[in-house]
Homo-oligomer: A and B are copies of this chain.
Amino acid sequence: MDEQINSYLEKNRSLYLKQMTDFLSIPSISSDSTHKADVRRAAEWLAGDLKNGGMDHVRLMETAGHPVVYGDYLKAEGKPTVLVYGHYDVQPVDPIDKWKTEPFKPVIKNNIIYARGCSDDKGQVFMLAKMAESILAVKKELPVNIKFFFEGEEEIGSAHLNDFVDDHLDLLKADVLLVSDTTMVGLDQPAVCYGLRGLCGLEVRLQGANGDLHSGVYGGAVQNTLHAMVELLATLHDDKTGKVTVNGFYDQVRPLSSEERATCEKLSDDKALMKQLDLNALYGEEGYSTVARIWARPTLELNGLFGGFQGEGLKTVIPSTATAKITCRLVPDQDPEVIGSLLKKHFEKHLPVGVKLDVVLMDHAEPFVMPLDHPALKAADAALEDAFRLKPVFSRQGGSVPIVNTFHDKLGLAPVLMGFGLDSENFHAPNEHFHLVNFDRGLRALIAFLYFLPEKM
């Protein structure tokens, strides 16, 4: 790491953290229409920060939903161009009563910052902006060209991103895609991610009688919609093997290589995970290690289930409706649309008597893997080793970064997924936090990456 840049970063650390705190204080919850103005406010804050950092052409670009924040530096003639992606929108905060601090009043304690979005992904977006700002402040020029592209709809499935990219193919042209929205494999162990799971989401609704019924008057004579839902959902898994029992679900799954299996087994630390989550047992698909289950095997998860009375005490009703929210995590080479249609067929086939079915297919994202010998991955490898003083792991990720496929398919971009969050940092849950030691090391790694990239390409 360049000494001048290093001392600049040390000198400016407090200022940067203060700025990050301001950014995290804006409740940019993209799924909640009452926060629409806040999402825009976060976009404006970010645009202002890029402009202050020396970027050109900084602007908000409209979509049919929340705006994109764009800014670039194109003065590195003959050097590669990096499209830098992140998202400034965040997940909802419910259940709010489980937060120990307020989600939009960031608190720093023991070098950890607590706030919604600090790890996923506003904290990392902020680091990407500071990566360019810091080099420019010290060196007056960047070693590569950069195009910043920050979206506000990642947490709601990036609904308008495809259209936006189609409409701006020239503007977004680049050689490499840099994304900081993945995690390290441990507090001190950096990782470059070369594979992501995809997603297929749906909602299943059952309707029984035309209204809730008194369980004394009708109980025993009509289908209880909740029983029907339970019966239907119980057909989705084999509880002995943990496998999804939907016909054809695994047909397109690409098997793990024996090297990948070995890496997964080596990285699986079941005891630590059980301790972290306060569980007396883990549970998953037979025949795979914990890390393999997360990185490379598909799942079908219930994310929400509800029907009938939820108040205090009892209410003797037979509920008329029941709803289940489901997402599948998919792996190469599963096709989200194929899986959605297999699921729909499954529900129709196993529908219990006496209820009507409605299946609504929702968000989907393709799974992805990248060839391990790509030069951009080598630059990331070198940069992480330089900043962390440790060889990074080539990892996969259980989550989805839906835009990776969009940018690959439409712009031919190879993604470098180099993130600095941890799986234990509660993103999508109460008490999201981010270890600032990886803010420091991560920022240095990002800066180093920009210097290593032209060498390796």
Instruction: Give me the interface of A with B, judged by CB distance under 8 Å.
Output: 31, 91-92, 94-95, 98, 156-157, 183, 197, 199, 201, 203, 208-224, 226-227, 229-231, 233-234, 237, 239, 273, 277-285, 290, 293-294, 297-299, 301-319, 322-323, 325, 327, 329, 352-354, 356, 362-363, 397-400, 423, 426-431
A224 → chain B closest CB, angstroms:
5
A395 → chain B closest CB, angstroms:
12
Whether B294 lies near A304 (C-beta < 8 A) is no
CA distance A368 to B217 in the complex (A): 16
Whether A304 lies near B308 (C-beta < 8 A) is yes
A299 contacts across to B, CB distance below 8 A: 215, 219-220
Q: Known: A227-B302, A316-B327. Contact between A277 and B213, CB under 8 A?
A: yes
Whether A430 lies near B294 (C-beta < 8 A) is no
Closest to A302 in B: B226
CA distance A163 to B318 in the complex (A): 31
A-B contacts besides A303-B309, A304-B319, 18 pairs, CB < 8 Å: A94-B311, A157-B314, A212-B430, A214-B399, A215-B299, A217-B399, A218-B277, A219-B299, A220-B329, A222-B284, A226-B305, A227-B302, A231-B234, A231-B237, A301-B316, A304-B310, A310-B325, A315-B428
Whether B219 lies near A316 (C-beta < 8 A) is no
Of the listed residues A92, A197, A308, the one surrounded by the most CB atoms of chain B closer than 10 A to its CB is A308
Whether B305 lies near A230 (C-beta < 8 A) is yes
Selected contact of A273 from candidates B98, B216, B221, B317, CB within 8 Å: B221
Q: Known: A214-B428, A215-B329, A354-B282. Contact between A315 and B309, CB under 8 A?
A: no
Whether B303 lies near A304 (C-beta < 8 A) is no
4 nearest A-B pairs in the assembled complex, by CB-CB distance: A216-B399, A234-B234, A304-B308, A220-B293
Whether A303 lies near B278 (C-beta < 8 A) is no
A392 → chain B closest CB, angstroms:
18
Whether B302 lies near A217 (C-beta < 8 A) is no
Closest to A315 in B: B303
Whether B316 lies near A308 (C-beta < 8 A) is no
Whether A354 lies near B220 (C-beta < 8 A) is no
CA distance A157 to B277 in the complex (A): 38
A380 → chain B closest CB, angstroms:
21
Closest to A270 in B: B221
Whether B314 lies near A301 (C-beta < 8 A) is no
Closest to A242 in B: B220
Whether A426 lies near B304 (C-beta < 8 A) is no
Whether B311 lies near A308 (C-beta < 8 A) is no
Whether A312 lies near B282 (C-beta < 8 A) is no
A232 → chain B closest CB, angstroms:
9
A98 contacts across to B, CB distance below 8 A: 211
Whether A201 lies near B314 (C-beta < 8 A) is yes
A261 → chain B closest CB, angstroms:
15
A220 → chain B closest CB, angstroms:
4
Whether B314 lies near A325 (C-beta < 8 A) is yes
CA distance A282 to B224 in the complex (A): 10
Selected contact of A312 from candidates B31, B281, B309, CB within 8 Å: B31
Q: Known: A222-B284, A282-B222. Contact between A199 and B325, CB under 8 A?
A: no
Whether B302 lies near A211 (C-beta < 8 A) is no
Whether B314 lies near A277 (C-beta < 8 A) is no
Whether B308 lies near A305 (C-beta < 8 A) is yes
A216 contacts across to B, CB distance below 8 A: 197, 199, 329, 397-400
CA distance A398 to B427 in the complex (A): 48
CA distance A230 to B183 in the complex (A): 31
Q: Known: A212-B430, A362-B313, A430-B211. Contact between A294 and B92, CB under 8 A?
A: no
CA distance A285 to B310 in the complex (A): 27
A193 → chain B closest CB, angstroms:
12
Q: Known: A220-B293, A316-B327. Contact between A230 and B429, CB under 8 A?
A: no
15 contacts between A and B (CB under 8 A): A214-B429, A215-B299, A216-B397, A217-B427, A218-B398, A219-B329, A221-B294, A226-B303, A227-B233, A231-B237, A233-B234, A281-B353, A304-B310, A310-B323, A314-B327
Of the listed residues A220, A310, A315, the one surrounded by the most CB atoms of chain B closer than 10 A to its CB is A220
Whether A354 lies near B294 (C-beta < 8 A) is no
Whether B279 lies near A208 (C-beta < 8 A) is yes
